């Protein structure tokens, strides 16, 4: 039975290398992930979007510790956003519980609209200041991605999706990734605020880009 559980977790872990296919791992409550999400497809082209739980997750640390990390994370993001000339605001409620949003993002990815949903929800959070754990806010992003509100509501309550989210989050840690955003290309990993630029540099050197990439910041 233990072997079956371990096999199920390995299969659920989306951080497992998959040839040269590129994957973008992001946390919906993370402002650094928001900044990467705004640039990743312009820089690298189509990429698989994989939601995970980030450093501000409610599963990690006491409320005061999470609040301290959130302040530090937001300060880093504000400095990076100024450098990139991208808008950013701190959500009215921050840090937020991103579990329900991550379930919805997993559902959206399964329907082939993971990028549209994630970008919409990240913009609502870090451009509009909305609480991405709120049902109406999640449904607003669902509409942008052409998903029905009813389907997304069901997804936010689907605890069965947690196995994939949690296994992938743990898998990133096992592979030496300290926190999202992260980009995996084969067995190569790029993380943090420099993830997009580093992934573009690597991909260009390896001849993996069909055309010269746009500036990654």
Residue 107: give its domain's CATH number: 3.40.30.10
3-state helix, strand, coil in the chain (%, to 5): 55, 10, 40
Helix (H) or strand (E) holding 101: helix 99-110
Residue with tokens 């990439």: 213
pLDDT band at 206 (very low <50, low <70, confident <90, very high): confident
Residue 10 has pLDDT above 60, yes or no: no
- Which pLDDT score is estimated for 121? 98
Q: What is the mean pLDDT of the chain?
A: 88
Q: For the residues 83-96, what does the mean pLDDT come to?
A: 93
Task: Name the pTM for this structure.
Answer: 0.89
Answer for the pair 36, 8: CB distance below 8 angstroms, yes or no: no
Q: Look up the domain containing 181 and give its range.
A: 20-205
- Which pLDDT score is estimated for 161? 94
- List the single range of 103-107, 112-116, 175-179 with lowest mean pLDDT: 175-179
- Which pLDDT score is estimated for 5? 41
Q: Is residue 217 part of a domain?
A: no
- List the single range of 50-64, 92-106, 178-192, 194-208 with lowest mean pLDDT: 50-64
- Which pLDDT score is estimated for 28? 97
**Strand residue runs (E) in 68-207:** 182-185, 188-191
pLDDT band at 11 (very low <50, low <70, confident <90, very high): low
More confident residue, 140 or 55: 140
pLDDT band at 66 (very low <50, low <70, confident <90, very high): confident
- Which pLDDT score is estimated for 183? 96
Q: Is residue 129 part of a domain?
A: yes
Answer for the pair 124, 53: CB distance below 8 angstroms, yes or no: no
pLDDT band at 215 (very low <50, low <70, confident <90, very high): low
Q: Is residue 43 part of a domain?
A: yes
- Which pLDDT score is estimated for 65? 86
pLDDT band at 1 (very low <50, low <70, confident <90, very high): very low
Q: Is residue 102 part of a domain?
A: yes
Q: Is residue 210 part of a domain?
A: no
Total count of domains within the chain: 1
């Amino acid at each position: 039975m233990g072997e079956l559980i371990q096999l199920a977790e390995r299969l659920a872990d989306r951080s497992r290398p998959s040839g040269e296919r590129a994957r973008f791992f992001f946390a919906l409550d993370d402002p650094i992930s928001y900044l990467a999400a705004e640039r990743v497809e312009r820089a690298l082209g189509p990429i698989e979007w994989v939601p995970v739980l980030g450093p501000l997750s409610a599963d990690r640390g006491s409320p005061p510790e999470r609040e301290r990390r959130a302040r530090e994370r937001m300060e880093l993001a504000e400095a990076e956003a100024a450098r990139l000339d991208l808008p950013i605001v701190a959500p009215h409620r921050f840090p937020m519980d991103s579990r329900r949003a991550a379930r919805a993002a997993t559902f959206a990815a399964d329907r082939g609209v993971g990028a549209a949903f994630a970008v919409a929800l990240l913009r609502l959070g870090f451009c509009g200041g909305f609480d991405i754990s709120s049902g109406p806010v999640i449904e607003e992003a669902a509409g942008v991605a052409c998903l029905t509100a009813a389907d997304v509501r069901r997804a936010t309550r689907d605890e069965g999706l947690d196995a994939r989210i949690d296994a992938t989050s743990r898998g990133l840690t096992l592979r030496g990734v300290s926190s999202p955003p992260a980009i995996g290309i084969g067995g190569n990993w790029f993380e943090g605020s420099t993830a997009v630029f580093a992934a573009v540099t690597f991909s260009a050197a390896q001849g993996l880009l069909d055309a010269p990439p746009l500036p990654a910041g």
